Amino acid sequence: MMYEYGSDAYVYPNVRKLGKHLWEVPREHMAVMAALVREYTGVCNFNFKVRPGGRMCIFEVNPRIGGDLACDVPRDRARALFEELDG
């Protein structure tokens, strides 16, 4: 998911969410994330921003399902992920 906020800096709770939409993560970003979790098994959640020019800035990686998957991703897409993991 990609979220849009009413300011350049996200400082909770002084931020207003303007919108959200599905977003395909670029391959180069996926390669960076895959390298970070190369020997990890399980679900994890990356929180990051894309800076002007397209560079990724990772804030945190959590070894759990994130709120966007739990609440914002369309149910059929989330279901497909869990079926793949259960496979």
Contact (CB, 8 A) for 64 and 43: yes
- How high is the mean pLDDT in each 10-residue block of the chain (87 residues)? 87 90 94 96 91 93 88 90 87
User: Would you state the pLDDT for residue 69?
Assistant: 85
Q: What is the pLDDT of residue 25?
A: 93
**Contact predicate 19/3, CB 8 Å:** yes
What's the pTM value of the predicted model, to 2 decimals? 0.77
Contacts of 25 (CB under 8 A, 6+ apart): 33
SS3 40: coil
